Structure 1
Amino acid sequence: MEPTLEQVIADYDEAAPLAEAATIPGPWYTDARVAELERRTVWSRS
C-alpha cells in the first residue's frame, strides 16, 4: 500500500538536532504528489 502524501512529508524530522541532520527523504525527490504540491505552493507565483 502506497503511503499518503501526509505520511511522505512526515518522514522528515525538522526538529532533529544538527548532529542527526539528514537530507530530505528520497520520496520527496520522486513522488509526483510532492512535485505537484511544490508546483502549487512554491512555484505558483512565477
Structure 2
Amino acid sequence: MANIIEGSPDAETLLGTEGEDWMEGFQGGDWIDGNAGNDEISALGWPGQ
C-alpha cells in the first residue's frame, strides 16, 4: 500500500477518500479539515467546518 497517494482507499496520506488518517474533506480521519469525526480540528475553529 502506498503511503502518499490521491484517490485510493487504504492510503495513509491522501486527499479525497474515506478511511485514511491524514486527510482533507471526509469523515473518518483522525486529522482532517472541516468534517465530523476528526479529533484535532473541529474545536479549534479552522475554516471549512
TM-score, structure 2 normalization: 0.26
TM-score, structure 1 normalization: 0.26
Q: Which has the higher contact order (CA 8 A, sep 6+)?
A: 1
Greater share of residues in helix: 1
The structure with the larger Rg is 1
